Structure 1
Amino acid sequence: MNFLKIVKYDFINILHNPALIISNTILPVVLIAVLGFVTQNNFGKEPLSAYDYQSVNMLIFSVSLIVAITTSNSFMEEKVIRGNMRIAYAPVSKMEMVLSKIVSSYIFVSICYGMLIPFCQYILGVNMGGNRCLWFALLLNAFSFFECCFGAMFCCIFRSEEQANSIMQIPLFIFIFLGGVLVSIHRLGKIVNEISYISPVKWIVRCSYQIIYDNDLHLLLSIIISLAILSLICLLICGLRFKPEEYI
């Protein structure tokens, strides 16, 4: 019961941050609209328009970058730190404290992107796979949970929101670059293309297009399992590095 109360408290703190709400809802739509308009002359209308392409890529890009930052904010934003004092002395384990930040962030971003996918498909009219958009949503949810764990891990390692965010962005942008959501990585040669498969973003991009355009789900389960393993590794590091007294 104490754990659920902490999750509720952390979730409400996130809702009180307009920047996080905007960055997880309005910002992806703006990116889709702007980049879709700028690149529309490079695409036809069938089977893949500029808005179709940018919708998938920008949703993945947003999850890749913004979700981890959302979690680090829920851990160490100034207002949250003041409230952590009560939690630190509550009868809960240190892992429950870590998990409450991760779970509350995950619930928040799941709601945000759970609304964005049908919004893109039914309001903006872009191709999210039709009925297969549920599988795409499942994939993004698994990726979101990994990003929440990844953001929490950096907070536990560096114990400073500013330092965690600044250093965390280095691997995140490497993942994004190798994932090909901003540039077509295959144009950089075979070696770079092979290296790109170390990026979880690359897995998500490849699986997303297979789901949406080929009705092919054969990568979905293996990627979800891989993301779950990476999430567990992040949680293990959190457990080893987290000290509640350093967050108050």
Structure 2
Amino acid sequence: MYRFVKMIQRDFMNLLLNPTWLMFCLGFPFLLVSIIGFMTKGLYGGNFTSYDYYGVTLMFYSALYTGTFSANSFMEERIKQANLRSLYTPISQWEVPLAKTLATFFYTLIFYTFIGCVLMFLFQVNYGTEIFKLWLLFAGTNFASSSLGVLMCCIFKSEGVANQILSIITNIVAITAGLLFPASALGETFSKISQALPVSKVVQMAFQLIYDNNSQHFLITLAGIGIVSVLLVFASQMAFKAEAYL
């Protein structure tokens, strides 16, 4: 367990010391909400502003991008040799992908939480009174995305390929789930399809917590995210092969 914890710490520091990822992690969600919220503020009312909408949806959109961080932590050429040395130490093989998942999860969650606080105070984004439950939904989505990034690396054995596929998946999900704009803007049929998507249900649950104080389906939603995360982690363990680093 000690070696496993040290692996997580080292992977966390690799991400922390990468200025590109640090700027992206801090700047990406903040600029998205700031720019899109400003450009669309005339389309929303006074009680429910554009910042209220995008301060929620675009933070979940950023959480979906966590997979690119875990893919970088897993197979970036700069740190691949350090990962290779880990394979020759007396650790279980399952610890390698799980350490990448957890390090990325902690890294992004800390900075995304900070950005959420900045948005709340700078743009008065409404996160409601059930903010801890809202944070748990966000954290669960973040962990699931981190697990997906590691799985993509285990399958394709390439950071570049994994990130290309993750970007496509993330943007398709974001558009169809209404994270970039309200799904109702594309018509009733698209709206019905959007509401049936798992990510849409998570975001709907988030808005219910904020504006209705309705947590009736919170545990079911959180459990669903947890099940997906466990399945992705298990799939990563099955797909990971040490020779992928050779």
CA distance in 1, matches of 2:103, 2:10: 9
Query: What TM-score do the two structures reach when normalised by structure 1?
Result: 0.93
User: Which residue pairs with 2:44 in the alignment?
Assistant: 43
In the TM superposition, residue 92 of structure 1 has moved relative to its aligned partner by: 1.0
> In the alignment, which of 206, 210, 231 is matched to residue 208 of structure 2?
210
In the TM superposition, residue 189 of structure 1 has moved relative to its aligned partner by: 4.0
Question: SS at the partner of 1:91?
Answer: coil
User: Which residue pairs with 2:115 in the alignment?
Assistant: 116
Question: Deviation digits for residues 136-168 of structure 1, max 9, x if unmatched?
Answer: 111100111101111111111100001111122
Does the CA-based 8 Å contact 1:57-1:181 persist in structure 2? yes
Q: Which runs of 5+ in 2 are unaligned?
A: none
Question: Deviation digits for residues 83-114 of structure 1, max 9, x if unmatched?
Answer: 11210111111111111000100110111122
CA distance in 1, matches of 2:216, 2:118: 26
CA distance in 1, matches of 2:201, 2:67: 18
User: Which residue pairs with 1:238 in the alignment?
Assistant: 236
Q: Which amino acid aligns with 1:227?
A: I
User: Which residue pairs with 1:31 in the alignment?
Assistant: 32
Query: Is 1:54 aligned to residue 51 of structure 2?
Result: no
In the TM superposition, residue 59 of structure 1 has moved relative to its aligned partner by: 0.7
Q: Which amino acid aligns with 2:224?
A: S
Q: Which amino acid aligns with 1:58?
A: L
> 1:106-145, aligned counterparts within 5 Å?
106-129=105-128, 131-145=129-143
In the TM superposition, residue 169 of structure 1 has moved relative to its aligned partner by: 2.2
Does the CA-based 8 Å contact 1:117-1:137 persist in structure 2? no
Q: Which region of structure 1 is more displaced relative to structure 2, 76-85 or 18-27? A: 18-27
Query: Is 1:179 aligned to residue 177 of structure 2?
Result: yes
User: Which residue pairs with 1:77 in the alignment?
Assistant: 76
Question: Deviation digits for residues 219-247 of structure 1, max 9, x if unmatched?
Answer: 22111111111112212221221012212
Q: Which amino acid aligns with 2:107?
A: F
Q: Which region of structure 1 is more displaced relative to structure 2, 136-145 or 199-208? A: 199-208
User: Which residue pairs with 2:92 in the alignment?
Assistant: 93
In the TM superposition, residue 135 of structure 1 has moved relative to its aligned partner by: 1.6
Does the CA-based 8 Å contact 1:88-1:245 persist in structure 2? no
Q: Which amino acid aligns with 2:31?
A: V
User: Which residue pairs with 2:227 in the alignment?
Assistant: 229
CA distance in 1, matches of 2:229, 2:15: 21
> 1:196-207, aligned counterparts within 5 Å?
196-197=194-195, 199-207=197-205
CA distance in 2, matches of 1:12, 1:87: 16
Query: Is 1:7 aligned to residue 8 of structure 2?
Result: yes
Question: Deviation digits for residues 41-91 of structure 1, max 9, x if unmatched?
Answer: 111211x01111121121111111x21101111101111212112101111
User: Which residue pairs with 1:193 in the alignment?
Assistant: 191
Two-structure CA RMSD over aligned residues (Å): 1.5
1:14–1:153 distance in 2 versus 1, CA, 3 Å: same
Question: SS at the partner of 2:90?
Answer: coil
In the TM superposition, residue 4 of structure 1 has moved relative to its aligned partner by: 0.5
Identity of aligned residues (%): 30
Q: Which amino acid aligns with 2:237?
A: G
Q: Which region of structure 1 is more displaced relative to structure 2, 87-96 or 113-122? A: 113-122
